[in-house]
Amino acid sequence: MTTEDEIAGMRAVYEPLAESVRRLIDVTIRTEADATTVAAAKAKIDCVADELSTSLLPGSFGVQQAGDGQNMAWGNVVIGVRNPVAPPLIVHHREDGSVWADFNLNAAYEGPPGHVHGGVCALILDHILGATAHKPGRPAYTGTLTLRYLRGTRLGELHAQAQVDRVEGVKTFAVGHIADANGITVEAEGVFIHPRVSKA
Amino acid sequence: MTTEDEIAGMRAVYEPLAESVRRLIDVTIRTEADATTVAAAKAKIDCVADELSTSLLPGSFGVQQAGDGQNMAWGNVVIGVRNPVAPPLIVHHREDGSVWADFNLNAAYEGPPGHVHGGVCALILDHILGATAHKPGRPAYTGTLTLRYLRGTRLGELHAQAQVDRVEGVKTFAVGHIADANGITVEAEGVFIHPRVSKA
């Protein structure tokens, strides 16, 4: 088992690496550097990747268990602090069961020029709506998800929130939206399912 | 206007950089290197990002026009050859209007352990279904999108396809799915809208 201090130590090592790779992703898309500079950059990145590859987890990061029963979903594409693809979202839970997150989406999440890809809005909403149903040690999986796009979502500062509409047996019905400073851009509703587990 | 040769030249410069950053993302998530190695890697990545930042496109990549009227959506989060977050998908169009793509999703796209995040399936399906409605110079935007998750989608080799169900005025109704070697994992239907344009 991993203690809380050990987890904090691991996070202090790996989280800054992911943050630096996030910035590298952004400049990789936006750089206008010349061919020589880009080739030199690529060669250095390959060296760094080789150095980090001397010891690799097989497969994917998964969800690792900490000593206090907390899950470390550090590889998760939405919230993973070790995943440079994740913004990452920090999901806040309110006492009434609703959840919310404020986040910034940059050039890496683009679809139409200057706008968030509609599918990225779906990715964020799937996660935020699902978070209303997730319980520690009792994950919920998406059953269905429906998205209504009211208008384009510009890249930049955004807000997402979701709440439980009702619970029927193993099914949690959740609703939510993404909004910018001018209001809601995408609405969503979804059904999230807790797999039945045999009580040993 | 940019000639075809100039575009090929630009692609030869920037595409390998994005490919190297894709590999770096994967090893950033999976590395078990020690704190000293990771700190050294981070410092080198910061240097590379600085070098590439001497000249940056403002904002995001957008969709740049090539001389032949082709769009270069190189920053797109699903298909962008310059975007390390994109797998990237190569979308094939059949004569009957259907579209398909074979692709591989690694640790960077994880949700449940060993599985693709449900929201990433939504991202891929939004793009693939939308591609049935897209016409050069006449983009289509997602109106609604509904996803049904039949079972978990394991990380690895995957296939996505979509076709037009019907067209009603500016609306294209599309259906599609993601499949692994054992069959369909997620089904989708969506409505994609061509904004009315005033003919000048």
Read off the pLDDT of residues B148-197 as tens digits, 9 standing for 90 and up. Answer: 999 999 999 999 999 999 999 999 999 999 999 999 999 999 999 998 76
DSSP string over B172-193: EEEEEEEEETTEEEEEEEEEEE
- How confident is the model at residue A30, as a pLDDT? 97
B83 neighbors B18 (Cβ within 8 angstroms): yes
Q: Which residues 128-147 of B are in CB contact (within 8 Å) with A?
A: 130, 139, 141-147
Q: What is the pTM of this model?
A: 0.95
Interchain contact, A108 vs B39, CB within 8 Å = no
Residue type, B99: V
A185 neighbors A153 (Cβ within 8 angstroms): yes
Q: What is the pLDDT of residues A78-126, one digit of tens each?
A: 999 999 999 999 999 999 999 999 999 999 999 999 999 999 999 999 9
Interchain contact, B118 vs A142, CB within 8 Å = yes
**Could you give the CA distance from residue A174 to residue A99 in angstroms, rounded to a whole number?**
11
HSE-CB for B193 with a 13 A CA cutoff: 13
Residue type, B139: P
Q: Is B152 at the interface with chain A, CB within 8 A?
A: yes
Interchain contact, A60 vs B107, CB within 8 Å = yes
Can you tell me the ipTM of this complex? Answer: 0.95
Select from A15, A36, A85, A141 the residue whose CB has the most chain B CBs within 10 Å, as the one to mutate to test that interface.
A85
**Could you give the CA distance from residue A181 to residue A158 in angstroms, rounded to a whole number?**
8
- How confident is the model at residue B197, as a pLDDT? 64
